[in-house]
Amino acid sequence: MTDTTTTAPAATDPGDVDGPRPRLSRWLTVGAASLVALVLALWLMASTSNETDTVANIPTADSADAGFARDMAVHHQQAVEMAYIVRDRTTDPDIRRLAYDIAQTQANQRGMLLGWLDLWGLPKTSPDGYMTWMQGGHMGHQTEDGSLMPGMATNTELHQLDTLSGNKAEIFYLQLMTTHHMGGIDMARACAQQCAVPQERKLAQGMVDAQQSEMKVMADMLKERGAALR
């Protein structure tokens, strides 16, 4: 039993007392080193993304940003054109004011979209067609007779509008323009969700809001004329 009594003090030997201490400081060292590495990594990532900002923030030709800018510029152009036609076909101040408002707004917005494409150095047209950037595709729209995207009137309908006058022209315009806004709102909503450039998302959301309220105005104007949507 003496053996145990002699080995017992060894457990409290000062050489063994500092056993767990270096282990703790070792983990502290590793922890500190990892922390430094993590901070450095975050800093590096932040600084690289800053340096590449000008590169990374330019949308590519197949992005939602570029696609929306290209396609909505075309969609808007027809709204501008229809507004001019109806202003020549009626003297009604309400319709002429509505058409003036739409023409001014959409011509300006179209200029913004085309200007962004210029800044990004991207083409205004794509051989791949329209609305290919939209998640869920172009809703099976057949491009025919100048109706290139959902909501767009055909060339035949535009010519028809140009032959009507007064009340008939007003009603047909309100019908065509309501359909036009419906197609436009779907596309603008897609950009408001998918576009990466915040200014463009904001413009798209603005289109959704404004065109929805214009659709209510047009519904009332149709009712005043004893007509409904086609």
Partner 1 sequence: MSKTSKKTAAADRKARIEEMRRAEKARDRRNRIITITLSTVILAGLVGWGAYAINSANEKKDQKAAAAAKPISGEKTWDAKKLGRTHVETKVDYPMNPPVGGNHAPQWMTCNGNVYTKAIPNENAVHSLEHGAVWVTYNDKATATDIKTLTDKVTKTPYTLMSPDKTQSGTVMLSAWGHQLSVSKASDPRVDQFLTKYVQGAQTPEPGAACTNGLTAS
Sites of contact with partner 1 (CB under 8 A): 2-3, 6-7, 10, 13, 15-16, 19, 22, 26, 29-30, 33-34, 36-37, 40-41, 44-45, 47-48, 51-52, 55-56, 58, 74, 77, 80-81, 84, 111, 114, 118, 121, 123-127, 129-130, 143, 146, 148
DSSP string computed for 76-132: HHHHHHHHHHHHHH---HHHHHHHHHHHHHHHHHHHHHHHHHHHHT--S--TT-SST
Residue 61 Cβ vs partner 1, minimum distance, rounded to whole Å: 9
Nearer to partner 1 (CB atom), residue 51 or residue 220: 51
HSE of 170, CA atoms in CB hemisphere, 13 A: 21
The pair of three-digit structure tokens given for residue 130, joined into one six-digit string:
């329209």
Residue 15 Cβ vs partner 1, minimum distance, rounded to whole Å: 5
Cα(215)–Cα(226) distance, integer angstroms? 16
Nearer to partner 1 (CB atom), residue 183 or residue 192: 183
The pair of three-digit structure tokens given for residue 99, joined into one six-digit string:
């058409």
Residue 37 Cβ vs partner 1, minimum distance, rounded to whole Å: 5
Residue 110 Cβ vs partner 1, minimum distance, rounded to whole Å: 8
Cα(103)–Cα(123) distance, integer angstroms? 24
Looking at residue 126, what DSSP letter applies? -
Residue 34 Cβ vs partner 1, minimum distance, rounded to whole Å: 8
| Angle (CA) 12 13 17, round 5° | 75
Nearer to partner 1 (CB atom), residue 52 or residue 213: 52
Nearer to partner 1 (CB atom), residue 41 or residue 139: 41
Residue 229 Cβ vs partner 1, minimum distance, rounded to whole Å: 25
Instruction: Please identify which residue in the block is written with the tokens 């007392």.
Output: 17
Three-state DSSP state, 136? coil
Three-state DSSP state, 47? helix
Nearer to partner 1 (CB atom), residue 155 or residue 213: 155
Residue 137 Cβ vs partner 1, minimum distance, rounded to whole Å: 17
Cα(30)–Cα(214) distance, integer angstroms? 64
Nearer to partner 1 (CB atom), residue 143 or residue 163: 143
- Residue 95 φ then ψ, to 5°: -65, -40
Nearer to partner 1 (CB atom), residue 146 or residue 206: 146
Number of DSSP helices (H) and strands (E) in the chain, helices first: 9, 0
